Amino acid sequence: MSGLYSWSRFAGRTLAAASGIEGAPTKLIFVVTKRCHSRCVYCDIWKVKDTPGGLDNELSLDEVRSFARANSFLQWIDFTGGEPTDRPDFVEVIQAFSESCPDLMLVHFPTNGIATKRIRETVATLRQTVRARLVVTVSIDGPPELNDRLRGIRNDFAHAIDSFAAVRREIGVENTYVGMTLHGHTGSCGRTTSQLVEDTFAAINAALAERGEPLIGWGEFHLNIPHFSQHYYGNQSAHADDGFGGPAHRAEIAAAIEATAARAKTGASLAMRGIERIYRSEARRYLATGRTKITCSALLSTSYLSEKGDVYPCTIWDKPLGNIRNTGFALMPLIEAARRDGVRAEVVAGKCPNCWTPCEAYPAIMASPLRSAVALVTG
Ligand code: SF4
Ligand code: SF4
């Protein structure tokens, strides 16, 4: 199938979802493993490998292949972790979907950037063997000293820069981004969130310049709101109160997003810049009110698969819907049952925990073009 056909099919299915037609989801978030060698202060996934039985029972490659064959309608997959490249057969996992999903058009994975050589080899092989557009996000959460402290790894910043440069220039992945999550850590470094964002952007470009690499623009620098989830990050209990470091930090995050929004004029396609603008505009609303004007598309055009085969509406809502090992690896029986049981209706009614993560927000924006336009104008 040609790329153009896949994109037009995606557009058609997205429009159908926007009209409320409950077909098969176009997008899946798939946690390929909870292995991770970072030690981030705000995420407990890295502790899973040290928990007895924590990594037991992860889906085998054969099971992943069965799942890919049983759900060939998928067009956009976020392969996440843990650190996805810590899974030894990560390339084969993506290849399984590339072979079984004829209209697969977008493959994204985030990386902590620690193992530069392995990341470079992984991406080089994927570029040669996978038809879909590849998008890679390297996580950097501050200037070197702060980033390394938050992510718990000495020289993490330097490794992340090396990985970013390897993926973007050596391997030539056009869609390579830096992702910075604005956790409630600014108090510990004495800077406002806006200052911290400026300093991080400057430090990244200084490090790229030192290596003789092209600099990044604001359009390649993504700011994420922190989120909490027990079934995914395992960090809900530690942040049961506000989770954002208090109202003052919420306002700081909103100000930082506002300040960078106006600058993101380069480094991404026009469509992507439009989606980013809406994401940022709604992020400010979400930080102020805990709600957005855009209806989430969980269980409409998106779903979530854990490393052990459990299906959830999304990364955030700790509401297990069943396990694909009990459905012959088919996703739809679980999604259709959840729709019949009113879980999708609860999402529409805002009775889920409510969130605004990019993983869920971007497809929601695409599936709500009219509401997105209104939100942008009135936001
Ligand atoms: S945030 Fe990512 S890199 Fe950090 S511990 Fe969690 S999974 Fe690992
Ligand atoms: S808005 Fe609700 S259903 Fe949608 S991703 Fe967030 S928590 Fe999940």
* Alpha-carbon gap, residue 231 to 311, rounded angstroms: 11
In the chain, domain spans: 3-378
Q: Computed over its alpha carbons, how large is the radius of gyration of the chain?
A: 20
- Residue nearest atom 1 of ligand 1, based on CA coordinates: 43
Ligand 2 centroid vs 111 CA: distance in angstroms? 23
pLDDT for 121:
98
| Ligand number, closest to the Cα atom of 111 | 1
Average pLDDT over residues 98-112: 97
How many CA atoms lie within 13 Å of 373's alpha carbon, on the beta-carbon side? 3
List pLDDT tens digits, range 76-87.
999 999 999 999
Closest CA to 151 of 199, 315, 143: 143
Ligand 2 centroid vs 357 CA: distance in angstroms? 8
Average pLDDT over residues 135-161: 96
Question: Given ligand 2 and candidates 314, 339, 346, which is best to mutate, with the most ligand atoms within 8 Å of its CB?
Answer: 314
Question: Given ligand 2 and candidates 317, 319, 344, 348, which is best to mutate, with the most ligand atoms within 8 Å of its CB?
Answer: 317
Ligand 1 centroid vs 106 CA: distance in angstroms? 22
- For residues 344 and 299, is the Cβ–Cβ distance under 8 A? yes
- For residues 113 and 15, is the Cβ–Cβ distance under 8 A? no
pLDDT for 42:
86
* Alpha-carbon gap, residue 292 to 294, rounded angstroms: 5
- Residue nearest atom 7 of ligand 1, based on CA coordinates: 82
Closest CA to 94 of 73, 79, 105: 79
Q: Is 296 in the pocket of ligand 2 (CB under 6 A)?
A: yes
List pLDDT tens digits, range 311-335.
999 999 999 999 999 999 999 999 9
Q: Is 137 in the pocket of ligand 1 (CB under 6 A)?
A: no
pLDDT category of residue 245 using cuts at 50, 70 and 90: low
- In ligand 1, the atom with minimum distance to the C-alpha of 110 is 2
Q: Is 46 in the pocket of ligand 1 (CB under 6 A)?
A: yes
- For residues 76 and 103, is the Cβ–Cβ distance under 8 A? no
List pLDDT tens digits, range 213-226.
999 998 899 888 88
Ligand 2 centroid vs 296 CA: distance in angstroms? 6
Question: Given ligand 2 and candidates 279, 285, 316, which is best to mutate, with the most ligand atoms within 8 Å of its CB?
Answer: 316
pLDDT for 252:
85
- Residue nearest atom 2 of ligand 1, based on CA coordinates: 82
Ligand 1 centroid vs 233 CA: distance in angstroms? 8
Letter string b/e over residues 71-105, b meaning 16 or more CB atoms within 10 A of that residue's CB: bebbbbbbbbbbbbbbbeebbebbbbbbbbbebbb
Q: What is the dihedral of CA 12, 18, 20, 23, to 10 degrees?
A: 40
CATH topology of domain 3-378: TIM Barrel (3.20.20)
Q: Is 73 in the pocket of ligand 1 (CB under 6 A)?
A: no
List pLDDT tens digits, range 228-241.
888 998 876 555 44
The owner of tokens 């992340």 is 160
pLDDT category of residue 190 using cuts at 50, 70 and 90: confident
- For residues 220 and 267, is the Cβ–Cβ distance under 8 A? yes
Question: How many residues does the structure list for the chain?
Answer: 379
pLDDT category of residue 375 using cuts at 50, 70 and 90: low
Q: Is 32 in the pocket of ligand 1 (CB under 6 A)?
A: no
Q: What is the mean pLDDT of the chain?
A: 90
The DSSP 8-state label assigned to residue 285 in this structure reads H
| Ligand number, closest to the Cα atom of 45 | 1
pLDDT category of residue 265 using cuts at 50, 70 and 90: low
pLDDT for 135:
96
